[in-house]
Structure 1
C-alpha cells in the first residue's frame, strides 16, 4: 500500500505483474459510495465539494477515471443518469465522451441514452462511440442501433466492416441507404464490404444450417413480424399503435418458443444481406463503366470467394448484373472448379445454366472437373447432407452428372498419378473414385445394416401382434358357427380392415429390410437400389404402425363401448400420439431420402436468371 492511496499490485503465477490501480485517498468515501450505488451519499459529497465531479478519483496504469467513469464501469445506471445532469456538455464534453465510450463497451443502454442526449451536439463523439461499440461490444445490438440513429455523419469503412462481421446487416443496410456510396467503400488495401460479405456464408439463406422443421418455420415467418423494436428505419411509415401491436405479437410468440425468434432473426439477416449485396452491386454499376466493373470483380475475386463458400446469392447477383463474366474462359474454369470441389449443388445448377460449352475444350472438361469430383476431402461433406448413406449417394450423383457432361469414353480415360513409365500409376477416374471412398462405403453399409436390423425387429413384432389379433378377435366367436360375435358392429369392420392392412404392410416392410440386409453393398447400390428399398421399408413400416394402432383402438371401442359411450375420444387421441411422434422423428429422414433418390436437386434444371 502506497502513501498516496491504496495500491493493488500483485504478482501473477507466471511472474508478470498486473497493472497498477490507485484510488485517490481524498475521494475514497466518494469512490465507495459510487461502487455501492449510494446516491444520497454521492449527492451529499458533491454538494459539499464542487470539484469532486471532475477530479481524478482513481488511476489504472496510465489511464485516469473520473467519478462518472467509475459509475459507468460499475454499472450504476440510475446514478449515471443523475450525475449526467450535473455536466453541461459545453464545459465537460471530454468527461462525457470518456464516460460514453465506457458505457458502450459495457453495453448499458440506459447510460448510453443519458450520455448521448448530452453530447449529441458534438458531431464526432457519437460516430466515435459507434466505432467503439462495433469493435468492443459487437453483440450489443440495442446500443449499436441507438447510436446509429443518432449518428449525424456516415460511419467509416472500419465501422461498416465490423457491423457486417458481427451480423448486423440491418444496421449496415440502414447506413447504406442513408449515405449513397457507403456500400461500395473500400479501405486502404482495396478491401470492399462486398468482399467481406462474400466470406460470411452463414449470413445468407444458402449457408444456413436448418433442419426439416426449421425450414418449414423459416418459410412461414413473415419478416414484418420480426422484432425490430430497436429500429425505426425499416418501416418509417408504420404508426405507433401498429408498431406496438407488431412488437407485442412477436414477443408473445417468441417468449414461449425462443427458437422461433432465432429463426426469424436469421431470416431478417438473410434478407438484409441479400439487399445489401444487391445495393452494393447496383451502386458500383452506376459509378463504374462495365469494363471497369468486370475488371473489379475478376481482380477482387469476390465471385470466386462467394463460390468457394457456397454463397449462391452473391454469385447469382453478379451473373445477373454482369452476364459477361461467363464469357471469360479462365474465370469460368476456376468458378466451375470451386463449385465442384465444394459440392455446392445450387451453385452448380446456376453456373451450369449459364455455361458456354465452346469456351472450354473437352480435355479440360474431363481432366479438370472429373478430377475434382473424384477427389475426396472433408470439404465434400456438405451440411445439407445427413449421414454417410446420403453422402455416398450424393457423391455418386456428382460423378454421374459430370460423367454425362463429357463424351461416353470419359470413364475409360486414364488418370496419371505418377510418371508415364510406371504402369501401376495408371488408373481410371472411377477406380480413383471408388478407392478414395472405401471408408465412407464401410460407414454407409454399417448404418444401413443397423437400421434395417432394428426396423426388421419392429416389423416382426407388428406381424406377430396383427396375426394373433386376427385369430382371437375382440369378443370371441360364436361357439356353434365360429362367426365373430361383434361382426355386425361398425367398429369390428374397422378392426378387421386395419388389422389386415397392418399385417400386409408389416410383412412387406420386413421383406424390404431383409432385401437390404442381403444386398452386396457395392458402391453402385447406394445410388438407387438400397435407398429405394429403405424408402419402401420405412413407408410400409409407418403404415403398419398406424394400422395396428387403429386396430387396437377399434378393439378397445368394441369392448368398452357398451358401458362408456365416449371412450372412443380418448382412445383416438392416445392412438394418434405415437403416430404423430413417429412422423416428427422420422418424416425428415423419409423426405430427404425421397427427394435425394427420386428427384435430386443436382439433376434439376435452372432457368437463366436474366430471363
Structure 2
C-alpha cells in the first residue's frame, strides 16, 4: 500500500499543480484584459488583444480566446494575415478554437463565407490545404493523418454555403481539387503505410490460425480409444477448447479484414471510414486472438502439470 501511494502521490500532485496554474493563468488573463479595456482606447485594445488572440489561435489556447471574446466581442473581426479568426483556426487545424469561435460568433456564416483577397479562397479551400507540420504529426501513421485531414475537410464542409463547395479560386480549382493536389504525397504514404501494416499483421494472424487449428486436433493428454479427449471432464479442458476456438475465429476475422485492406482501391474517401474501420477491426481481432492463445497455452500447462500444480 505504501509503495502504491509513493507512485500515485506525485501524479496527483502534478495534476493539482497543473489545475492550480491553469486557474491562476485565467485570473491573470482576466486582469490584463480588464486593465486594457479600462484604458477606453479602442486602438490599444484592438492591437493588444488582437495580437494575443492571434497567437492563441495558432497554439490552440482556447481559454485566452474565450475570455477575450466574452469581454471584448468585437475581437472576432480581428485579421490574422488577412484571415478572420475562424478561418485562421481552420488553417491551423485547432479544433477547440474552431468550435469556440463557431459557437460564440453571431456572424459565423458570414465569416466562414469570406474570400481571401490574395487567392480568392473560401473556408473550404483553406480546409482542403495540407495541415501545418506541427498539427499533421499529432497522430501517428500516414493513413491516420489522411483520415484526420478528411475529417477536418468534411467538418468545414457542413456549414459553408452550398455554392462555395464548387467555387473556384484564382487557380481555377474547387475545394475538392485543392484537397487532391495538396494531399498527393500524403495519400501515397498512407497507401504504403496501410499496406505494410496489413501485410505484417496478416502474417501474424495466419500463424495464429495455424497454431489454433493444430491445437484443436492435438488436445493435451491425447485421446481415449473411442476418440474422446482424456481430460474431457475437466473444467480446465473446457477453458482450453473455448479459448482455442476464440483464437481461431478471431484470427480468421483479422485475416479477412487485412486481406480486405490489401485488395482495396485506396482512394481518398476510403481513408475516411472504410480503411480505418477495417484496420481497427483487424487489430482488435488480432489482439483478441493473441490473448486467447495465451489463455489456451496456460490451460494446457495446467492440464499437463496438474499433478505438480495441485
* Alpha-carbon separation, structure 1, partners of 2:55 and 2:308: 72
* Alpha-carbon separation, structure 2, partners of 1:370 and 1:318: 26
Which of 426, 429, 433 is the aligned partner of 2:175?
429
Q: Which residue pairs with 1:309 in the alignment?
A: 59
* Alpha-carbon separation, structure 2, partners of 1:529 and 1:452: 14
Query: SS at the partner of 2:187?
Result: helix
RMSD (CA atoms): 3.0
Which of 489, 503, 506 is the aligned partner of 2:234?
489
Question: Given that residues 342 and 379 in structure 1 are in contact (C-alpha distance below 8 angstroms), is that contact kept between their aligned partners in structure 2?
Answer: no
Query: SS at the partner of 1:562?
Result: helix
Query: SS at the partner of 1:414?
Result: coil
Which of 364, 368, 371 is the aligned partner of 2:125?
371
Distance 1:383 1:287, change over 3 A: same
Within 5 A, what are the aligned runs for 1:336-485? 336-357=86-107, 360=110, 363-364=113-114, 367-376=121-130, 378-379=132-133, 381-417=135-171, 426-479=172-225, 481-485=226-230
Q: What are the Cα deviations for residues 90-139 of structure 1, in whole angstroms up to 9, with x where unaligned? A: xxxxxxxxxxxxxxxxxxxxxxxxxxxxxxxxxxxxxxxxxxxxxxxxxx
Query: SS at the partner of 1:396?
Result: helix
Which of 298, 311, 331 is the aligned partner of 2:46?
298
Q: Which residue pairs with 1:528 in the alignment?
A: 273
Within 5 A, what are the aligned runs for 1:38-187? none
Question: Given that residues 449 and 516 in structure 1 are in contact (C-alpha distance below 8 angstroms), is that contact kept between their aligned partners in structure 2?
Answer: yes
* Alpha-carbon separation, structure 2, partners of 1:376 and 1:460: 37
Query: SS at the partner of 1:356?
Result: coil
* Alpha-carbon separation, structure 2, partners of 1:287 and 1:495: 72
Distance 1:493 1:362, change over 3 A: closer
* Alpha-carbon separation, structure 1, partners of 2:249 and 2:64: 52
CA shift for structure 1 position 349: 1.4
Question: Given that residues 342 and 380 in structure 1 are in contact (C-alpha distance below 8 angstroms), is that contact kept between their aligned partners in structure 2?
Answer: no
* Alpha-carbon separation, structure 1, partners of 2:134 and 2:122: 16
CA shift for structure 1 position 543: 0.6
* Alpha-carbon separation, structure 2, partners of 1:361 and 1:564: 73
Q: Which has the higher contact order (CA 8 A, sep 6+)?
A: 2
CA shift for structure 1 position 388: 1.4
Query: Which structure has the greater CA radius of gyration?
Result: 1
Question: Given that residues 477 and 485 in structure 1 are in contact (C-alpha distance below 8 angstroms), is that contact kept between their aligned partners in structure 2?
Answer: yes
Distance 1:518 1:354, change over 3 A: same
State how many pairs are aligned. 300
CA shift for structure 1 position 295: 4.5
Q: Which residue pairs with 1:278 in the alignment?
A: 27
Within 5 A, what are the aligned runs for 1:180-329? 253=7, 268=17, 271-272=20-21, 274-282=23-31, 284-285=33-34, 288-289=37-38, 292=41, 295-300=43-48, 301-326=51-76, 328=77
Distance 1:287 1:454, change over 3 A: closer
1 or 2, which has the higher helix percentage?
2
Query: SS at the partner of 2:223?
Result: coil
Where does structure 1 differ by over 4 angstroms across 4 or more consecutive aligned residues? 263-267, 329-333
Query: SS at the partner of 2:24?
Result: helix
Q: What are the Cα deviations for residues 188-233 of structure 1, in whole angstroms up to 9, with x where unaligned? A: xxxxxxxxxxxxxxxxxxxxxxxxxxxxxxxxxxxxxxxxxxxxxx
Q: Structure 2 regions of 5+ residues with no counterpart?
A: none
Q: Which residue pairs with 2:262 in the alignment?
A: 517
CA shift for structure 1 position 266: 8.6
Q: Which residue pairs with 1:149 in the alignment?
A: none
CA shift for structure 1 position 377: 5.4
Question: Given that residues 92 and 131 in structure 2 are in contact (C-alpha distance below 8 angstroms), is that contact kept between their aligned partners in structure 1?
Answer: no
